[in-house]
C-alpha cells in the first residue's frame, strides 16, 4: 500500500494462482496491484493457497529485489527463509534490530550478528545504492553543488588516489587467461557478475573463482549487490 501511494511499481508474488484472491479481504489491494504493477505466480490458475507454497515462493521475492529487509523474525520464520534465499542469490540483506529478549527479534539480531546491514532508518539501506541510482536517490537536505564560502574555498581538496598499474604483457602475478579476460572487461564502474559472465562467455563457476582471486590480490574491489570494479590501471 505504501509503494502504491508513493506512485511506485508493485510486484506481488502469490502462493496461489493469479485468479485466486487470498485473503479475500484484500480484493481491492489485489486489483490495485494488478492495475499499477504485476501479479506473479509460478502456480497455474485455479491453484488454491497452501501453506507449503509461501516459503517456496519467497525465493522469487528475493530474486526480484536488490535487497531483503527483515523487520521481525522469530527463530523459525518465513522471513529468515527469504533472507537465506537472498544471500544465495547474491542479494544484500538488512535487518531491523530489536530487544534481545523479544522473540520476534531473535532472527533479526542474529542476522546482524552474522553480517547483515543494520537498518535503523530508510537511509541505512538507500545509501548503499545512491551511487548506483544517483538520479533517483538523494538524501533529504542535500544539494547538487554545496555553496562555497570563503573559508571552504581556501581548503585544499584531497587528490583522488591514483590506481596502481598492472602490465598484462609482463604477467608477474601469474594471472590466468580467465583473470586477464575479466580485468580487460571490468571498468572503474561496478559491474554485476552476471554481466561479466555474459560479456566474457566464461562459465559462472570460473568467473566467480577468478573474481575471488582478483579480489584477494587487490586487483578488483567488490561493491554491494555482488558488483565488481577494476582497482588497477592496465598496461599491455
Q: In this structure, are 186 and 78 located in the same domain?
A: no
Residues 79 and 188 in one domain: no
192 three-class SS: strand
Cβ contact 74:68 at 8 Å:
no
Tracing cell 574491489 back to the chain, one arrives at: 221
* Segment 87-106, tens digit of pLDDT: 999 999 999 999 999 999 99
pLDDT digits (tens, 9 = 90+) for 191-225: 888 889 989 999 888 888 889 888 888 889 888 76
Share of the chain above pLDDT 70, in %: 85
What CA–CA distance (Å, rounded) separates 18 from 10? 15
What's the CA dihedral at 150, 155, 158, 159 to 10 degrees? 80
Q: Who has greater pLDDT, 232 or 44?
A: 44
Checking if the pLDDT of 159 tops 90, the result is: no
Q: What is the residue range of 197's domain?
A: 165-235
Asked, for residue 159, whether it belongs to a domain, the answer is no
Counting every residue written for the chain, the total comes to 236
Residue 49 lies in a domain: yes
Tell me if 26 is assigned to some domain. yes
Is 51 in the same domain as 108? yes
- d(CA 180, CA 18) in angstroms, rounded, equals 47
Structural domains in the chain (count): 2
Contact (CB, 8 A) for 1 and 31:
no
Are residues 19 and 118 located together in one domain of the fold?
A: yes
Whether the predicted pLDDT of 79 surpasses 70: yes
Evaluate whether 23 touches 48 at the Cβ level (below 8 Å): no
Largest CA distance in the chain: 70
Name residues whose C-beta falls within 8 Å of residue 15's C-beta, 6 or more positions apart in sequence: 22, 41, 43, 49, 50, 53, 54, 56, 57
CATH of the domain at 209: 1.10.10.10
Q: Return the C-alpha cell found at 184.
A: 580487460
Determine, yes or no, domain membership for 171.
Answer: yes
Same domain (yes/no): 121, 22: yes
Tell me the pLDDT of the chain averaged across its residues: 85
Is this model's pTM higher than 0.75 or not? no
Asked whether the predicted pLDDT for residue 30 surpasses 70, the reply is: yes
- Measured CA to CA in angstroms, residue 137 lies from 25, 120, 126 at distances of 34, 18, 7
Q: Which residues pair with 40 in a beta bridge?
A: 13
Of the pLDDT bands very low, low, confident and very high (cuts 50, 70, 90), residue 5 is confident
25: its cell numbers: 479481504
Amino acid at each position: 500500500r505504501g509503494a502504491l501511494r508513493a506512485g511506485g511499481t508493485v510486484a506481488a508474488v502469490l502462493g496461489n494462482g493469479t485468479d485466486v484472491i487470498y485473503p479475500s479481504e484484500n480484493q481491492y489491494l489485489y486489483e490495485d496491484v494488478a492495475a499499477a504493477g504485476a501479479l506473479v505466480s509460478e502456480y497455474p490458475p485455479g491453484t488454491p493457497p497452501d501453506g507449503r507454497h509461501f516459503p517456496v515462493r519467497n525465493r522469487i521475492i528475493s530474486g526480484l529485489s536488490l535487497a531483503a529487509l527483515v523487520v521481525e523474525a522469530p527463530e523459525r520464520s518465513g522471513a529468515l527463509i527469504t533472507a537465506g534465499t537472498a544471500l544465495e542469490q547474491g542479494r544484500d540483506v538488512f535487518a531491523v534490530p530489536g530487544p534481545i529478549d523479544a522473540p520476534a527479534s531473535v532472527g533479526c539480531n542474529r542476522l546482524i550478528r552474522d553480517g547483515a546491514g543494520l537498518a535503523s532508518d530508510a537511509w541505512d539501506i538507500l545509501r548503499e545504492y545512491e551511487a548506483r541510482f544517483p538520479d533517483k536517490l538523494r538524501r533529504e537536505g542535500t544539494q547538487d553543488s554545496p555553496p562555497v564560502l570563503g573559508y571552504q574555498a581556501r581548503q585544499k581538496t584531497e587528490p583522488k588516489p591514483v590506481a596502481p598499474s598492472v602490465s598484462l604483457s609482463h604477467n608477474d602475478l601469474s594471472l590466468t587467461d580467465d583473470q586477464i579476460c575479466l580485468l580487460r572487461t571490468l571498468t572503474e564502474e561496478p559491474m554485476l557478475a552476471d554481466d561479466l559472465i555474459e560479456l566474457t562467455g566464461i562459465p559462472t563457476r570460473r568467473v566467480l573463482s577468478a573474481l575471488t582471486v582478483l579480489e584477494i590480490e587487490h586487483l578488483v574491489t567488490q561493491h554491494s549487490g555482488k558488483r565488481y570494479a577494476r582497482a588497477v590501471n592496465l598496461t599491455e
